[in-house]
Amino acid sequence: MDFPYPRGGTYDPAMPIPTPFHDRTAPLCTSLRWKDWAGFHAVCRYGTHLEAEYHAIRHSAGLLDVSPLTKIAVAGPDAAAFLSFVTSRDIQRLRPARVRYVAICDEAGKLVDDGTVMNLGDAGYRLTAASPIWRWIDRFSAGFDVSLVDESDSIASLAIQGPRSRAILEQAAGEKIPLRYFQMAKMSFDGIPIEISRTGYTGDLGYELWCQPEHSTALWDQLMEAGKPHRLLPVGLDALDIVRIEAGFVLQGIDYYSAPTCLIESRKSSPFEAGIGFAVDLGRGSFVGSEALEREKRMPPRWKLVGLELSLPDIEKLYSSVGLPPVLPIEACRTSRPVHRRSRQVGYITSSTFSPILKSAIALATVEGSVGEPGTGLEVEFTIEHVHHRIPATVVERPFFDPPRKRN
C-alpha cells in the first residue's frame, strides 16, 4: 500500500493521522491501545501486557516509532547564531555530527519546551522538541539569515533503545557504528539513506534514526529482521514512560508546563526549577531569557525538581493494614500528588512509577529548594481504599537508573 505521504496527498483528513510506520505498527498492536501524539496515531502498548516491552528496553532492545516528534530544519549562514539565541545552549560551539540537549525558554526565562539540536554539517541543524514549536522560534528569526522548515511530517523517525541496540544496528548496517554518546552520523542501511544519532529518552544505550517517509517501511523491516536474534521488540509509549522516569527525564506537559500555554504564572518553571539547569549556558551574551536566567542563577532556587524514592515497606504495611496485598501496577502514573514535610506541603509529585529494575517506587517531584537535598526525608500522599495516608519518601539523586552502557 502506498503511504499517503507527503502532505497534499489523498489521506483521510480525520485526525489523528497515521505515522509513516503505521502499516507495520498497526497489525502488531493487538491491544488496540493507541493515543494521539501531536495529531498522530501512536501506540501505547502492543500487547495487553506491558512488562515484556519494558524489559525489552532494559535487557535486549525496543523499537519505538517517534515520528510525531517536532523536527525543524534550521539552515542558513546564521543558523548556529540563531539556535544559540532561541535555545539555552551555545550552539556555535556544537561541532558537526554532534547533538546537544537544549531547553527553550521565553523572555522571562520560563521553559517553553526541551529537545535536542543536531549539527548536520553542511545541511544545517535539526531542532527536535516535544511540541509544535515552529511559530515560537520563528518569532525570533528577524535579523538572522536563517531558514526554518518544519519537517515534523516529512521525516520519519525510529528510536532503537536498549543494551542490544548497537549490535542490531551494526548487523543491519553491515558495519561498525562507533558513535559516542550524543554523536550522530549519516549512513546507508542497505541503500536507505538515514541519519543516526546516539540519543534517546530511555537513559539506556540507544539510538534514534531519521529517514524519508518513503523508506520507513523498509527501514522498519530491516531493523526487525536484524533484531530478531537479539530479541528486539516493538515498544509503545507506556513502556517509554516508565523508563524515562527511571532515567530521571522530565516530560513537557507533565513535569513542567510550556510557559506560553500557562494561564497562571505559578504554573511556569525555569530550567533550573525543572531540573535541567545543566542545559543552560550562561555568560555567552544575550539570548532569549538570558537576563532572567542570570538573575535566577544567583539566587537560591525556589523550586527544585527531585527524585523521590517512596518507602515500599511502608506501602506494604498500609496495604496490609486493610488486609490487601500490595498493588503496584507496572505503569507510570501522571497524577499529581502532594508532598509534605511534617505539617507543611512542600511540593508535589508529577510522575511516578514502580521501577521493575530497581524494585522500588520512584517519582519525579517539584519541591521547595530548601528540602531538595538528597537524603531529605519527606512524606507523600497515598490513597488506599479511598482513604488518604502519608508514606515516607526520601529525596534521591537522579537518574534513578544509570547504566554505564548509556555512555560507554
Nearest approach, Cβ of residue 237 and another protein (Å): 19
Nearest approach, Cβ of residue 402 and another protein (Å): 10
CB 203 within 8 A of CB 247: yes
Nearest approach, Cβ of residue 211 and another protein (Å): 24
Looking up cell 532572567 gives 292
What residues numbered 212-251 form the site for another protein, per CB under 8 A? Answer: 228-231
Residue placing its CB nearer to another protein in the complex, 91 or 328: 328
Nearest approach, Cβ of residue 60 and another protein (Å): 5
x/- string (CB under 8 A) for another protein, residues 279-318? ---------------------------------xx-xx--
Nearest approach, Cβ of residue 323 and another protein (Å): 8
Q: Please choose, from the candidates 228, 223, 246, the residue with its C-alpha nearest in 3D space to the C-alpha of residue 63.
A: 223
The one among 346, 354, 363, 364 contacting another protein by CB under 8 A: 354
The one among 142, 263, 299, 327 contacting another protein by CB under 8 A: 327
Nearest approach, Cβ of residue 266 and another protein (Å): 35
Residue placing its CB nearer to another protein in the complex, 83 or 361: 361
CB 268 within 8 A of CB 112: no
What residues numbered 149-168 form the site for another protein, per CB under 8 A? Answer: 163-164, 167
Nearest approach, Cβ of residue 206 and another protein (Å): 15
Stretch that binds another protein, among 16-24, 149-157, 186-194, 327-335 (CB under 8 A): 327-335
CB burial of residue 299 (10 Å; 0-12, 13-18, 19+): exposed
Nearest approach, Cβ of residue 357 and another protein (Å): 6
Nearest approach, Cβ of residue 370 and another protein (Å): 28
Stretch that binds another protein, among 100-108, 109-117, 191-199, 325-333 (CB under 8 A): 325-333
Residue placing its CB nearer to another protein in the complex, 20 or 227: 227
The one among 4, 16, 356, 399 contacting another protein by CB under 8 A: 356
3-state secondary structure the chain: CCCCCCCCCCCCCCCCECCCCHHHHHHHCCCCEEEEECCEEEEEECCCCCHHHHHHHHHCEEEEECCCCEEEEEECCCHHHHHHHHCCCCHHHCCCCEEEEEEEECCCCCEEEEEEEEECHHHCEEEEECCCCHHHHHCCCCCCCCEEEECCCCCEEEEEECCCHHHHHHHHHCCCCCCCCCEEEEEEECCEEEEEECCCCCCCCEEEEEECHHHHHHHHHHHHHHHHHHCEEECCHHHHHHHHHHCCCCCECCCECCHHHCCCHHHCCCCCCCCCHHHCCCCCCCCCCHHHHHHHHHCCCCEEEEEEEECHHHHHHHHHHCCCCCCCCCCCECCCEEEEECCEEEEEEEEEEEECCCCEEEEEEEEEHHHCCCCCEEEEEEEECCEEEEEEEEEECCCCCCCHHHCC
The one among 28, 330, 384, 396 contacting another protein by CB under 8 A: 330
Residue placing its CB nearer to another protein in the complex, 171 or 352: 171
Nearest approach, Cβ of residue 171 and another protein (Å): 8
Residue placing its CB nearer to another protein in the complex, 320 or 345: 320
x/- string (CB under 8 A) for another protein, residues 31-70? ----------------xxx-xx--x--xxx----------
What is the per-residue burial (b if ≥16 Cβ within 10 Å, else e) of 81-119?
Answer: bbbbbbbbbbbeebeebbbbbbbbbbeebbbbbbbbbbb
Residue placing its CB nearer to another protein in the complex, 227 or 277: 227
Number of residues that bind another protein (CB under 8 A): 36
For residue 27, state whether it binds another protein (rule: CB under 8 A).
no
Interface residues toward another protein, by CB under 8 A: 47-49, 51-52, 55, 58-60, 163-164, 167, 171, 228-231, 312-313, 315-316, 320, 325-330, 354, 356-361, 401
